[in-house]
Structure 1
Amino acid sequence: MGRAVRLILLTLVLVLAGPAPAFAGEGEGQVSRSAYLARQLAENPVYVSDQVPRAVPRSAAPLFARAAARLDVPTYLMVLPSDGLGVNDEALLASVHDRLGKDGVYVVLGEDGIYGAAAAYGVRASAGEAMRAAQYELPGDAGAVAAFDRFVEVLDSGEAAARADAAARAYRRGEDPADRYPSRTDRNNQSFVTGALMSGSALAVVLCGWHVVRRGERRRDGTAAAPRERRTDLSTSPSSSGRSAARGPSPVRPARRRPTPRVALVLAGAVTATLVGVGGHVVCDETRSDAGPPPTAQDLRARVERVAAGLRESPFYADPESPAVFDAAEQRQLRDRLAELDVPVYVAALPVVTEDACAGDERLLAERLHDELGQDGVFVVADSTGSGRITVSNYGARLDEAALYRLPDEVENSTEAVWEAEDRLLPERLTALFAHIEKAPQGPPGEPYYDPEPAPDAAAEDLLPPLVSEDFWPGLTVIGPLAAVLLLGVTAVVLGLAGLRSPTRAGAAAGARTSTGGARGTTAGPPSPGSGAPAPDRPTPGWLRRTLHAELGDLGTVFDAEGPALPADVRKRVWSCLDAARLLVDEDGDHRLDRDADPLELACALTLVRAGAHAARARSVRHADVPCPLNPLHGPATARHRVRLPGAAQATRTPVCAHCRDELASGRPAVDLMLRLPPPDGGSAVRYDELDGPVQLFDTDTEDLVDDIREYLGVH
């Protein structure tokens, strides 16, 4: 009996206590939302809202299901519009779990993957920590698919709490991950920079390279110190007019051809532009600006079909998967009020987001609802989770359009009270709208206030334009060339500040370095007759070219200015030295030293120039017949000393220059004083008399040297 009494008393307590309390934060409308979502999960554990197809189409559900299958516990996922998630995500999960009545991991995500929550019911899993780690570890544009995939990976790792804490600390330090996908603005910037780099780098290579080449040529050839106007034109020489006719074809060596750096620089510029273009396509290889897969046509129709089906049942439709704005009593009142109107009015209260099929255009949504429903009337779209804006479109209802579209202030959403209210005062404002429609005078069948623009192509709007498009051309044609010219100016200034000097002075400095123990020379010779530059024992090809160019120009200027006043034999000697030197190292007759002239040829020409300069100064050829046999670059032999020349059986009293005489008198061996030149094919310098060549300097007087050069070149 006692047990029966206790059962009766417990039954009375339960009856008197009434229904169980609702979940925290859950009202009557919230129960309807939870019940609706629970029914969807009962059919499929992955539910993707049809309201955000541009970001997460419903056809992407298999991607989520594939990720969820990696977990060992039942997983239930809801992807809903972020605007509709609200602040009670965990309360929503608890309510849906209660309605569904199944244990497992419950997850709700916004369409962007940034907002969401997770909880475990009846299973051991750190779902909340795994969600927090996924949100911190991923960039903001990762998307819902990547966010859920990362959530599953973190949860399955068993280190959810540690990873969440580490990611949160990194985020607070400002080490948030970079975006995965470029926007269209980013692509425009990429196109602009690629175009500018292509033209700028190519022109910079050509312009700056040509500038550096020209500066280098001036340094080598001495054009800075000996301007072109100072160089004697061979046509002014006594026999230059007949030289071409007098020259026969050379049986010894072909005519020299100067390489053209312009072609090489242009090719280098083209290669640079090509490499930049290819590199730009490799680096900027993204094709989409969003993570979401493209929606199908059915994805884009799904919400319109769902809402239109609801409007067929009732002219007032409140989105069941969004937070409740109207309770049951308010919905009944609004439906009753609609039934009292003389014209058909259809109301759709739902989220209006840019990721929906209509790209956030309420008037386009109204047009599609009208087409799907197939009924004329006034279509009203109320944004239930965002701005609370109410949009009215008339499709065929007989109302005066001017009066209909002049909405009263109490319908608009511009007041502070509307924005402060959580429900945006939609029940009251819709009631005011119905009263406004009721008062509107009759008129012809109405039309929308304006025809909405078609929605952007959802499958193509996230495709990035090609890299060569839009802002590529301004960068290619304007900014790149300007940058190249600016770089050319900077290069010129930097090279100028670096102290690029004239060839004559550079040659003197080079010779001075050589004479003071540089790697290529040991002892300075006497000042050269033409320019005062020293004559090193081991001159470099560059020193020979620079010095020859400068002294050749100087001697030509002297001959032009003072030739008529010179004695006949001196004038003949100066001209023959000048002419032979030019024939040897300027076969093209373009007043520039041939690039393929080898060191021995350059030394021969410089020896002749210095012999001619000495004769012009001395106004006599008596001491200009024999160059110094130890180093012909020292000039004519004006003294004598006992010396054993290579190949001689014994030392003899031999003509040498004053410098070599002094060195020999100090006890220095003759072999150390001899001129050494690098072979034409490179390598260490050897004594000049050991070099093979058509012209021999050793033990040769000036007149014989001139004749040898003319014979070698086939000039008679």
Structure 2
Amino acid sequence: MGVRQFVLRVRTLIVLSALTALFAGFAAATPARADSQAAYLADRLRETPVYVSDQLPREVPKSMTPDFERVAKDTGVPTYVLVLPGLAGDGEALLSAVHDRLGRDGVYVLLDESTASHAAAFGVSAPVDDALTVCLYELPYDAGPLREFELFAEVIAGGAGKAADRAEAAREKYGDDEPEEMYIGPSDRENQSFLTGMLLTGVPLLILLLAPYVRRLRGRKGRPRHRWLVPAVALATALTVPLIATAAFDQTTSSASPRPRAMDLNARLDRVAQGLAEDPVYADPESPRVLDAAQLARLHGRIEKFRKSEGGGPVYVSVVPQLPADESEGDEEAFASALHDKLGEDGVYVVADPLYGSIEVFNHGLRLDSLDLLIDLPESITYGDDRAEKADDHLLGERLDALMTVLDKAPRTDRPESSGDPYPVTDPVTEDDLPPLFGTEFTPGLFMGTLAAGAAFGLVVAVVAITRRVLRRLRPGPLPTASLPEVSPTEPPMTYLRSTARVELRALTGDFEASTGVTATDRRPADSLDAALLLLDGDAGRIEDSGTSAATLVAVIVLTRAGRAALAGTGYNRCCAVNPLHGPAVTRHHVRVSAQGRQRRLLHVCGLCRDTAIAAPADLHTRILSLSTGGGARVPYEEADELLTAVPEGVRRLIERVRESASVP
């Protein structure tokens, strides 16, 4: 070998070694598993066998981790637990991928905010399928994930034989029925308070009224021998009723979830804010990845270009799920506002949900039209089209790129604007607390108990008198009965819809004309009134037209009520998606909307529908608003007219749909 060839080979080896070292260093700095949801979760399980997400503080606070660790030790086999949002990934595939990354055999369990959804055994013998079956049949829907995991561990520890027998027994016992719910709702507590109040006054008073009457019926005259006996019995009853009610109605919470701590409610916000401080795009590592490297690079480039443009500024994109169980109660505007407070930087805050695929945009402090970004953003960006609905990644990369185009072209304002304060969310610490038993409806119950005692006494007197007369004449006959037609808000007739729409529109028009100052700063009343009049072609008299459909009348009622609420300072954007006539929604909840199967939808619901979804989920479908189609048949309101499909998406979306149908910009 010549010297020249030797030198050439040495140089080649040096270059190859340098490249190898460079790639090794790059791999160490950004390992491939960092791009994987399964790899991230495997790393967490490598630190501790139980990982509880910080995205469910209202249902499963992260501070519950020690409780799950304690239960995991009771299975008798190595057990790895993930507590994640319900749509965080394909359960079985995710568990398999996490196991492959972690490289440790054992039982892998995936729980969400309500149930033990999936489990798999790798390299160990454990009856995981039978354990899941027992949990499904033996526990009600509101038992909570910790109680389900406790039952799961109990079945696993019992062995395969006992697990199979118990699963079969559970199937035979419950079939299609669900066990009785473990918790009650606020409306149930109100009923308990009302009943306690009624019994407290009604029973003692009825004793005081009936005792002398019975004595007279028996023909006894004069003063009774023991005059103190009846008052003493009545007093003893009055003292006993509260004691029995307190023991019988001892529930204090409507949910299995414990009260979240401050660190639980701030954990995710701190995590996302820290990530955005380092990178303007934060992709939740617990969720399926929806942005690839090329999309991220392009998005970073466009964000930097917008930041340097005239009238532009920082853009912060958080690709994070928005869930009813999170600290913001699934409210994107509240989440963005909290991030703005945490980060302390003005800019455009984009909230992209990797699970549901929605995109919301909120301006905080830039010279942009905040209302235009909030309301007039194209639906193809905010919700996506049919292609986005079918795609696993919801085409978020493509839609975020389109959003940046909209931001580049967005009109600038003379001074910085902000989206305003978001609607307040419910207090996560006290939202599950039941009202006190001797509060709320207890006082009305006391009053009604007095009336009920008098009515019961009058009924007894009447029954006795009628019975005596019937027996005397020996000609018993049927008692007259009467009934009145009942108007159900679930199946309202057209007369009810017309009168309600007429009254609500007249009231909104009067309130709007009499308002001073509110409409100058808040466009919601004007937008609601304009949309309602668009539906009627500008003529309120069309409400009485027989050609005006029930769907149109319902839309008018929803719009006018939202406008009046905005004028009154109690505005809302979401109404009850089960029945829009119920009024504003108070939360989002997984509800069963059909009598067949157990399929649930995540909907905004009012307080009564939420309580029904908790206390009697199988009955909630009976509360869905149905409208007449003109031929006598009734269908759910969303099927009556395409216009009403926008109602579950919010009043703002309904206004957009009305404008689109009327070709009004």
TM-score, length basis structure 2: 0.61
Q: Map 1:573-652 onto structure 2 (within 5 A).
A: none
Aligned AA (1:72): G
C-alpha separation between the residues in 2 aligned to 1:169 and 1:42?
A: 40
The residue identity in structure 1 corresponding to 2:128 is: A
Letter aligned with residue 111 of structure 1: E
Counterpart residue type for residue 446 of structure 2: L
Indicate if the aligned counterparts of 2:364 and 2:419 stay in contact, CA closer than 8 A. no
Deviations 1:398-451 (A, max 9, x none): 223344333133223286665455444433322222111111132255343230
Structure-2 change in CA distance of 1:30 and 1:460 (3 Å): same
Q: 1:265 to 1:416 in 2, by over 3 A?
A: farther
Question: Rg bigger for which structure?
Answer: 1
Q: Which moved more, 1:90-99 or 1:337-346?
A: 337-346
2:210 aligned residue? 208
Gaps of at least 5 residues in structure 2 are 1-31, 308-312, 472-665
1:32 is matched with: 36
Quote the Cα distance in structure 2 between the aligned partners of 1:402 and 1:162: 61
Which structure has the highest helix share of the two? 2
Q: Find the counterpart in structure 2 of residue 244 from structure 1.
A: none
Of 68, 77, 90, the match for 1:73:
77
Tell me, yes or no, if structure 1 residue 154 matches structure 2 residue 155: yes
Aligned twin of 1:294: 259
Moved more, 421-430 or 410-419: 410-419
Contact kept? 1:376, 1:396, Cα under 8 Å:
yes
CA separation in 1, counterparts of 2:172 and 2:406? Answer: 55
Q: Distance in 1 between matches of 2:389 and 2:232?
A: 65
Q: 1:302 is paired with a residue of what secondary structure? A: helix
Residue in 2 aligned with 1:168? 171
8 Å contact from structure 1 (residues 379, 393) kept in 2: yes
1:220 aligns with 2:220: yes
Alpha-carbon distance between aligned partners in 2 of 1:394 and 1:260, rounded to the nearest angstrom: 83
Cα deviation for residue 307 of structure 1 reads 0.9
Secondary structure (helix, strand or coil) at the match of 1:398 reads: strand
Q: Does 1:463 align with 2:463?
A: no
User: CA, structure 1 residues 91+401, in 2 after alignment: closer, same or farther (shift >3 Å)?
Assistant: closer
Contact 1:401/1:443 (<8 A) preserved = no
Contact 1:191/1:470, CA 8 A, preserved across alignment: yes
Fraction of identical pairs, as percent:
45
Matched, 1:376 2:346: yes
Matched to 2:215, the amino acid is V
> What amino acid is aligned across from residue 133 of structure 2 in structure 1?
R
Cα distance, 1:500 vs. partner? 9.9
The equivalent position to 2:369 in structure 1, one of 389, 393, 400, is 400
| Range with bigger deviation, 70-79 or 440-449 | 440-449
Q: 1:501 to 1:410 in 2, by over 3 A?
A: closer
Secondary structure in structure 2 of the residue aligned to 1:220: coil
Partner Cα distance (1:261, 1:452) in 2:
68
Which residue in the other structure is 1:136 paired with?
137
Residues 419-434 of structure 1: matches in 2 within 5 Å? 419-434=389-404
Equivalent position amino acid for 2:409 in 1: K
Mapped contact 2:346–2:366 kept (Cα < 8 A): yes
Is 1:177–2:146 an aligned residue pair? no
- CA separation of 1:121 and 1:324: change in aligned 2, threshold 3 A: same
Verify the 8 A CA contact 1:408 1:436 in the aligned structure 2.
no
Correspondence for 1:577: none
Counterpart Cα distance in 1 of 2:187 and 2:284: 35
Q: How does 1:24-423 map to 2 (within 5 A)?
A: 32-85=36-89, 88-113=90-115, 115-158=116-159, 159-174=162-177, 176-216=178-218, 219-221=219-221, 258-259=223-224, 264-342=229-307, 343-386=313-356, 388-405=357-374, 406-413=376-383, 418-423=388-393
Distance 2:371 2:214 in 1: 76
Tell me which amino acid in the other structure corresponds to 2:43. R
Q: In the superposition, relative to structure 1, how do residues 366 and 486 fare at CA in structure 2: closer, same or farther (>3 Å)? A: same
User: What is the DSSP-based 3-state SS (H/G/I as helix, E as strand, rest coil) of the residue aligned with 2:107?
Assistant: strand
Code of the aligned partner of 1:399: L
TM-score of the aligned structures, taking structure 1 as reference length: 0.57
- SS in structure 2 of the partner of residue 189 of structure 1: helix
Aligned-residue CA RMSD (Å): 2.6
Q: Which amino acid aligns with 1:362?
A: E
Cα distance in 2, alignment partners of residues 29 and 403 from structure 1: 40
2-structure distance, mates of 1:447, 1:455: 23
The alignment partner of 1:289 has SS state of: coil
Q: CA offsets, 1:198-252, max 9 Å, x none?
A: 2222222222223212322xx234xxxxxxxxxxxxxxxxxxxxxxxxxxxxxxx
Superposed displacement of residue 333, structure 1: 2.8
Q: Distance in 2 between matches of 1:94 and 1:374?
A: 40
CA distance in 2 between counterparts of 1:197 and 1:325 reads 59
Q: Is 1:83–1:351's contact at 8 Å kept on the other side of the alignment?
A: no
1:454 deviates by 4.2
Once the 2 structures are TM-superposed, how far is the Cα of residue 48 of structure 1 from its aligned partner? 0.2
Contact in 2 for aligned 1:29/1:328 (Cα 8 Å): no
AA aligned opposite 1:325? V
Distance 1:404 1:117, change over 3 A: closer
Counterpart of 1:285 in 2: which secondary structure? coil
Q: Deviations over 1:115-140 (max 9, x none)?
A: 51111111111122212212221111
State the 1:185 CA deviation. 1.8
Contact 1:351 1:385 in 2 (8 A): yes
For the residues of structure 1 that align with 2:106 and 2:373, how far apart are their CA atoms?
52
Tell whether the 8 Å contact from 1:403 to 1:441 is kept in structure 2 after alignment: no
Letter of the aligned partner of 1:272 in structure 2? T
Within 2, Cα distance between the matches of 1:208 and 1:422?
Answer: 71
Query: How far apart in 2 are the matches of 1:140 and 1:444?
Result: 53
* Matching residue's letter, 1:47: Y
Shift of 1:459: 2.2
Q: Structure 1 CA distance, aligned partners of 2:183 and 2:261?
A: 22
Residues 72-122 of structure 1 show CA distances to partners (whole Å, capped at 9, x for unaligned) of 21110000011324xx21111110000000011100100112x51111111
8 Å CA contact retained: 2:368, 2:417: no
Deviates more, 1:42-51 or 1:313-322: 313-322
Provide, for residues 607-647 of structure 1, a one-character-per-residue CA deviation record: whole Å limited to 9, x for no partner: xxxxxxxxxxxxxxxxxxxxxxxxxxxxxxxxxxxxxxxxx
Shift of 1:186: 1.6
| Aligned-partner SS, 2:360 | strand
Instruction: Choose 97-106 or 204-213, whichever is displaced more.
Output: 204-213
- Matched-pair contact (CA < 8 Å) for 1:193–1:475: yes
Match of 1:713 in 2: none
- Opposite residue 427 of structure 1, the aligned amino acid is G
The one of 451, 461, 472 equivalent to 1:482 is 451
How many pairs were matched up?
432
Cα pair 1:395 1:445 within 8 Å, conserved? no
Listed as ranges, the matches of 1:444-463 within 5 Å are: 444-463=414-433
Give the one of 416, 436, 461 matched to 2:406.
436
3-state DSSP of counterpart to 1:311? helix
Would you say the 8 A contact 2:77–2:106 is kept in 1? yes
Separation in structure 2 between the aligned mates of residue 376 and residue 186 of structure 1, nearest angstrom:
45
The offset of 1:457, in angstroms, is 2.9
Cα displacement string for residues 643-675 of structure 1 (whole angstroms, at most 9, x for unaligned residues): xxxxxxxxxxxxxxxxxxxxxxxxxxxxxxxxx
How far apart are residue 263 of structure 1 and its match?
A: 5.3
